Amino acid sequence: MSINVLKAGLQTTIQDSGREGFREYGIASNGALDEYSQRMANWLVGKSAGETTLEITQIGPTLEFEADMTIGVTGANFEILVNDQPQTTNKTLQLKAGDVVKFGKLYSGARAYLAFSGQLTTDTIMGSQSTNLLAGFGGNRGLALKDGDRLNVVSEIFNQTRQIPEALQQEHHHNLQQHHLIVRFTQGREFDLLSDESRNVFLQTNYQVSSSSSRMAVTLEGENLALGDDLSMTTVPIVAGTVQLPSHGQPIITLADGQTTGGYPRIGQVISADLSLLAQLKPNDSVSFYPATIAQAHKALMQKEQYLKTLLTE
């Protein structure tokens, strides 16, 4: 069967948990920016955590399903309609052949994840079906979906009804209604290159998210940060969550499609437990940074993983 893309939305891509083991060759990890929401969406349809979903950005698609299918939508808070009838997100939805799913108004967040019980038949490249928009491979021929596309899916039904616990929804989105996000970070290798004044500014500024942000990086606007005299930098490894400082003095945060190496000073690293939250930032939202130690970062990740596993198995 096929999923017919009647309207594609702003940027709807095919993403799974991403590519591992290829960064040394300059291949980005790709995959869902909000891995946390993707896992919950797959749980709603009885699939393992990192399987393929649609990542839906800010303006959602309209999709027609040619066969019976089970779906789940998590992440950003969208209005969801099936055959023009409002539906509940974060809950298993059973579709019949010919049903049309429409994403309407976006209330909060930036990216939603639509999981479906069937298996997508796109090619697996380097162990993943994820779309690499920059290099142009994976997913839908390396492209975001466009009007008129057809996604081939093996029809399958998940005969259970599941709902994401309210506590889990609140944990993930408690501050997105205010369009401001606080993320924890550890000091980067070049944090000491910041002047004393700039270190204080970095910790006290509510940075605005720029319209140039993408799946490659969150670009920020705020008071300029000044570097010390020692600016000698070579190309160094960077990963998702690395906070870099280009010469213009405005921080950028690398995301899943970002380059694997860079030459800008690395002033911080967003902790793994908070990475998924970055996916829910959109232009004109704001973000601020709260310092954490390596030990605190490890503890936060373990607690989050245990919390997720506990609530999704109750």
Write the CA distances from 105 to 9, 25, 277, integer angstroms.
Answer: 12, 40, 20
Give pLDDT, residue 42.
96
Give pLDDT, residue 233.
64
**What angle do helix axes 166-173 and 294-311 make, rounded to 10 degrees?**
150
Tell me, what DSSP letter sits at residue 178? G
Q: Of residues 175 and 121, which shows the higher confidence score?
A: 121
* Cβ-contact 196, 277 below 8 angstroms: no
Residue type for position 73: V
Those residues with Cβ within 8 angstroms of residue 228's Cβ, 6 or more apart along the chain or in another chain: 192, 193, 194, 195
Mean pLDDT of the chain: 92
Prediction pTM value = 0.95
CA separation for the pair 171, 238 (Å, rounded): 28
Give pLDDT, residue 227.
80
Give pLDDT, residue 309.
86
CA separation for the pair 75, 81 (Å, rounded): 16
Tell me, what DSSP letter sits at residue 89? S
* Cβ-contact 27, 21 below 8 angstroms: no
Give pLDDT, residue 263.
86
Q: Tens digit of pLDDT for each residue in 219-274? A: 999 999 988 665 556 688 999 999 999 988 999 999 999 999 988 999 999 999 99
Give pLDDT, residue 176.
59
Those residues with Cβ within 8 angstroms of residue 201's Cβ, 6 or more apart along the chain or in another chain: 223, 225
**DSSP code string of 250-265:** --EEE-TTS-SEE-S-
Kindly tell me if the per-residue pLDDT of 211 is higher than 80: yes
What the chain holds in terms of domains, given with CATH numbers, is 2-163 (no CATH), 176-311 (2.40.100.10)
Q: Tens digit of pLDDT for each residue in 65-103? A: 999 999 999 999 999 999 999 999 999 999 999 999 999
CA separation for the pair 287, 276 (Å, rounded): 14
Beta bridge partners of 2: 152
Containing 35, the helix (H) or strand (E) segment is: helix 35-44
Q: Give the start-end residues of each E strand in the chain.
A: 2-7, 11-15, 53-57, 62-65, 69-82, 85-87, 93-95, 100-116, 119-120, 150-154, 180-187, 207-209, 217-221, 236-237, 242-244, 252-254, 261-262, 266-270, 286-291
Give pLDDT, residue 1.
83
- Number of residues in the chain: 314
- Beta pairing, strands 286-291 & 180-187: parallel
CA separation for the pair 195, 285 (Å, rounded): 27
Give pLDDT, residue 174.
52
Tell me, what DSSP letter sits at residue 109? E
